[in-house]
Amino acid sequence: MRYLTQKQIEAMSWKDIKLYFLEKYADDAERWQNECDDRKLFSVKYETLVEAINSLPDEPHLTVCVAMNQYIRTETDILDEIKEHFKDR
């Protein structure tokens, strides 16, 4: 994951910020896309999140942001659980 300064983050759109923070899951999602267990679910959930964010404008309406933030939080909690379960495999 690349690191950005606070100033760089402040200059980014809502959409770019969300995609930036999802980058930490990208390598595992790519590596696990051909698995047949929960690692496959990890890849599918990651791709679905990225697609959902990419489908929105750079600065969506505040109501959409709140709903998407909740959705992202819920889905990334699941990604973190799966990642923790398979961390040594």
pLDDT at 19: 94
Domain assignment present for residue 47? The answer is yes
Dist. CA 42–CA 32, nearest whole Å: 8
Domain assignment present for residue 22? The answer is yes
The pTM (predicted TM-score) of the whole model is 0.86
pLDDT in tens, 49-68: 999 999 999 999 999 999 99
Across the chain, mean pLDDT equals: 93
pLDDT at 59: 94
CA 34 to the chain's CA centroid: 19
Question: Amino acid identity, residue 33?
Answer: Q
Domain assignment present for residue 53? The answer is yes
Task: Give me the domain span that covers residue 11.
Answer: 6-85
Give me the number of domains the chain comprises: 1
Domain assignment present for residue 1? The answer is no
Dist. CA 16–CA 69, nearest whole Å: 13
Domain assignment present for residue 30? The answer is yes
